Amino acid sequence: MDAWVLWLIAAGVLLVFEMMTLTFYVLWLCIGAVVAAVVGWIAPDAYILQVLAGCVVAIVLTIFTKPLSRKIRNSSKGYEDTGTELAGKQGVVVEPIEEGQFGIVKIGGDTWSATSVRSLKKDELVRVLKRSSTIIEVERWEDFT
């Protein structure tokens, strides 16, 4: 089997590993393996050149993207989760909530799976107590006021 095929297999394995970890460090190794595969395809007998090309690309990507990733992480703009500021907001029950079961509540333009310590009927106003993951805990609005 040619060396460039082995490099592509290694790149595929690294890509799968990157998708499981989402660290971006393994992605740079994957890209380095792809570069080594290209060099191996062009110069099949230059094994040291393949390794050096892959290593240099992986190191350069790691060094130059670290400040960029730090800048993106620390920027004030970015992805904002719509559920971070839900506590205290008013919503309306879309599907009834039975005690110990889930129902659906609409808050603004978003719908959420919701639980409550009391049964709530459709179209009742509710207040969000807290959010855990994708499920919110609500109470009847009249109980709050």
The residue among 33 and 101 whose pLDDT is bigger is 33
Residue 108 counted as domain residue: yes
Question: What's the pLDDT at 55?
Answer: 95
Structural domain boundaries, residue 104: 90-144
Question: What's the pLDDT at 108?
Answer: 82
What Cα–Cα distance (Å) separates residue 124 from each residue in 2, 41, 94, 138, 140? 68, 67, 8, 11, 7
The count of domains in the chain is 2
* CATH assignment of the domain containing 125: 2.40.50.140
Residue 94 counted as domain residue: yes
Question: What's the pLDDT at 3?
Answer: 92
Give 47-99 pLDDT, tens digit per residue.
999 999 999 999 999 898 877 777 766 665 555 555 567 888 889 999 999 88
Structure-block tokens of residue 101: 């079961």
Sign of CA pseudo-dihedral 38, 42, 46, 49: negative
- The residue from 46, 74, 102 where one domain ends is 74
- Segment 26-37 mean pLDDT: 94
